[in-house]
Amino acid sequence: MRAPAARHGRGADLLPSARVSKHVPPRIPGLVDTHCHLDYPPMIDDLDATLRRAAAAGVDRLIHIGCSRRSMARAVELAEAERPGLPPVYAVIGVHPHEATTLDEATLAELEALAASPRVLAIGESGLDYHYNRSPPATQQAAMARHIDLANRLGKPLVLHIRDAHDDALAIVDAQPCERPGIIHCFTGTPDEGARWLDRGFFLSFSGIATFPSATALQEAARACPGDRLLLETDAPYLAPVPMRGRKNEPAYVAFTCARLAALRGQDPADLALQAAANAERAFGLPPAAASVSSPPSS
Ligand SMILES: [Zn+2]
């Protein structure tokens, strides 16, 4: 989550998705959106329609993030619900660094209890955000350490949100290693910072920011990322990729990011989608795609 206006930062002036865009995401079979916040409007207002549009773009699995005391239980509910013919939703739960001050013993106990669900694939998003510093750095660092401990005890991977804080985050992980390879969601660091996380076995997940013309250092990191460590995400409703920039993002738009990253890496988009999906299966223990996901008949 980069910055929801109400709770976590910028993006207040997003165009309502109701204004129909002439841009339709390319259809790239086998896409996985490894990070989205489906419990935000307008996605949640008609979740089946949101998932149908995602399926039309080739998305066959989604990972939804519940990263606050308020949204953790809802995330498990969303993931456990059956939606025949629609792409399955899995969950990742934790407390966002912006809300690290709320991580008390009761919240940690609830998080641990909820994480017992088989639909909860990972713990997070935790991490450090020194860009907004919505919680004091020391509190964020302590909360991150508690999340590493919990993820290790549960044998689940950890999803990290790191912004302007790679040095401290790397130092915490060096002092308290993750037993399973973790995931840096919405990676926005430099190629060097990317290499340091890769050296520690982490996966790097790229969002729509990688499609922005000005994101040249990030595009360099995306080009340099080994094929077996790259993940794709939207962080919807935030960070809509070009050509939807400034609008509410949604899982279907991961296809735009896949197409752009494939061009950057000199790859076929369909190959990158399948490679990133295989990486998501390894990183999260994501079950294979359900054969039952019906995508609309190709015109
Ligand atoms: Zn985030």
Q: Where in the chain are the domains? A: 23-284
Ligand 1 geometric centre to CA of 78 (Å): 19
122 alpha carbon – ligand 1 mean position (Å): 14
Q: What pLDDT was estimated at residue 6?
A: 45
| Cα atoms found within 13 Å of the Cα of residue 210, Cβ hemisphere only | 38
| Alpha carbons 12 and 93: distance in angstroms, whole number | 25
pLDDT at residue number 277: 98
* pTM over cut 0.85: yes
Helix, strand and coil percent figures for the chain, each rounded to 5: 40, 15, 45
Q: What is the pLDDT of residue 14?
A: 46
Cα 2 to averaged position of ligand 1 atoms, centre (Å):
5
- Residue 56: Cβ-neighbour burial (10 angstroms; 0-12, 13-18, 19+): middle
Distance 250 CA to ligand 1 centre (A): 15
As residues whose CB is below 5 A from the ion ligand 1, the structure lists 1, 125, 161
User: Along the 299 residues of the chain, how does pLDDT read in single tens digits?
Assistant: 444 444 444 444 444 444 557 789 999 999 999 999 999 999 999 999 999 999 999 999 999 999 999 999 999 999 999 999 999 999 999 999 999 999 999 999 999 999 999 999 999 999 999 999 999 999 999 999 999 999 999 999 999 999 999 999 999 999 999 999 999 999 999 999 999 999 999 999 999 999 999 999 999 999 999 999 999 999 999 999 999 999 999 999 999 999 999 999 999 999 999 999 999 999 999 999 976 565 544 44
Cα R_g (the chain), whole angstroms: 17
Q: Could you give the CA distance from residue 80 to residue 30 in angstroms, rounded to a whole number?
A: 21
| Res 247: pLDDT | 94
What spacing in Å lies between the alpha carbon of 295 and ligand 1's midpoint? 29
Residue 291 CA, ligand 1 centroid: distance in Å:
30
Q: Which residues contact 109 (CB under 8 A, 6 or more apart)?
A: none
CA of 127 relative to ligand 1 center, distance in Å: 9
Q: How far is the centre of ligand 1, averaged over its atoms, from the C-alpha of 105 (Å)?
A: 23
- Tell me what pLDDT residue 290 has: 77
Residues facing 230 on adjacent strands? 204
All residues at 6 or more sequence positions from 152 whose CB lies less than 8 Å from its CB, including other chains:
178, 179, 180
Distance (angstroms) between ligand 1 centre and the Cα of 157 equals 16
- Ligand 1 centroid from CA 124, angstroms: 9
Structure tokens at 218: 């990030």
For residue 14, what are the CA distances in angstroms to 111, 208, 246? Answer: 31, 15, 5
Residue type, 217: A
Structure tokens at 92: 């990742």
Cα(185) to centroid(ligand 1), Å: 6
Domain covering 23-284 in this structure, CATH number: 3.20.20.140
pLDDT at 1: 46
Cα(290) to ligand 1 centroid in Å equals 27
Kindly give the distance from the C-alpha atom of residue 175 to the centroid of ligand 1, in angstroms, as a whole number.
23
Q: How far is the CA of 93 from the centre of ligand 1 (A)?
A: 12
CA–centroid distance, 296 to ligand 1, in Å, is 31
Output the CA 297–ligand 1 centroid distance in Å.
35
Measured in Å, residue 17 CA sits from the centre of ligand 1 at 21
Q: Tell me, in angstroms, the distance from the centre of ligand 1 to residue 131's CA.
A: 12
